[in-house]
Amino acid sequence: MDWLDHDRLGFNYRLSDIACALGIAQLARLDELLSARARVADDYRAALSAIEDLELPCPDAGGVVRGWFVFTVLLPRGIDRDATIRALRDLGIASKPYLPAIHLMSFYRERFGHRPGEFPVCEDVAERSLALPFFPQLREDEVARIAQSLAAVLGRA
């Protein structure tokens, strides 16, 4: 879990002046940025929908609009996520584990004694979560290549 592990409890709300200036400038383009991210998410949903037992994020509903910042999938049960990440990397596709089981982070294990098996649903989801490449300029053909590669890696091409 290394890169997502936290060894202490706290918050980090620090933003540099430059980051704030960029954020303010991007607010003028918010609708455009959100629309581009929603398009990429829709492209992913269409491209990945045929992969058996792959769980996709739920669609927006009831007028709710998600501010997509990541596109994650849940791999089929029994698939080794780390091996999937390595196989995708070998094909030139970066992906990462996502959604760690919070109770298994160092801070919570050491402070409160949490151990694997306490929250089996959470742990199952955490072990199967995979973040795929995601940014507003991702093209439909690139999404298709990622989806085809994932299908091939999962043995469901």
Phi and psi for 74 in degrees, rounded to 5? Answer: -105, 120
Who's near 19: CB < 8 A, 6+ residues apart? none
Out of 1-5, 11-15, 58-62, 94-98, least confident range: 1-5
Superfamily for domain range 2-153: Aspartate Aminotransferase, domain 1 (3.90.1150.10)
Mean pLDDT of 31-47: 95
How far is residue 38 CA from its own chain's centroid?
14
Alpha carbons 75 and 96: distance in angstroms, whole number: 12
Residue 1 pLDDT > 60, yes or no? no
Which among 58, 19, 36 is positioned nearest to 143, based on CA atoms?
36
Q: Is the dihedral of CA 107, 113, 118, 124 positive or negative?
A: positive
Query: Looking at residue 156, what is its pLDDT?
Result: 63
- What SS3 state is found at 57? coil
CA Rg value for the chain: 18
Question: Average pLDDT of the chain?
Answer: 91
pTM: 0.86
Rounded Cα distance between 41 and 132, Å, is 11
